[in-house]
Amino acid sequence: MADNVELVRQLLSEKSDEKTKVSGERFFKETVRLYGVRAVDVRKIASSTFKQIARLSKHEIFDFCEQLWQSQIMEEAMIACHWSYALRKQYAPEDFTTFECWVNRYVSNWATCDTLCNHTIGTFLERFPEFVETMKTWCLSENRWVRRASAVSFILPAKKGLFKENLFDIADRLLLDGDDLVQKGYGWMLKELAEAYEEEVYQFILKRRAVMPRTALRYAIEKMPAEKKREAMKKV
Instruction: Check pLDDT > 70 for residue 218.
Output: yes
Condensed to tens digits (0 to 9), the pLDDT of residues 125-141 reads 999 999 999 999 999 99
Q: How far apart are CA 32 and CA 9, in angstroms?
A: 17
Condensed to tens digits (0 to 9), the pLDDT of residues 2-55 reads 588 999 999 999 999 999 999 999 999 888 999 999 999 999 999 999 999 999
Res 2: pLDDT: 55
> What CATH topology corresponds to 91-236?
Leucine-rich Repeat Variant (1.25.10)
Instruction: Name residue 213's amino acid.
Output: P
Q: How far apart are CA 91 and CA 35, in angstroms?
A: 30
Q: How far apart are CA 131 and CA 113, in angstroms?
A: 18
Condensed to tens digits (0 to 9), the pLDDT of residues 164-184 reads 999 999 999 999 999 999 999
Residues spanned by CATH 1.25.10.90 within the chain? 91-236
- Model confidence, pTM: 0.94
Condensed to tens digits (0 to 9), the pLDDT of residues 79-128 reads 999 999 999 999 999 999 999 999 999 999 999 999 999 999 999 999 99
Q: Rounded to 5, what percent of the chain is helix, strand, coil? A: 75, 0, 25
- Residue 30 Cα to chain centre, angstroms: 17
Angle, helices 58-70 vs 74-86, to 10°: value is 160
Q: How many CB atoms lie within 10 A of CB 81?
A: 25
Burial 93-124 (b: 16+ CB within 10 A, else e): eebbebbbebbeebbbbbbbbbbbbbbbbbbb
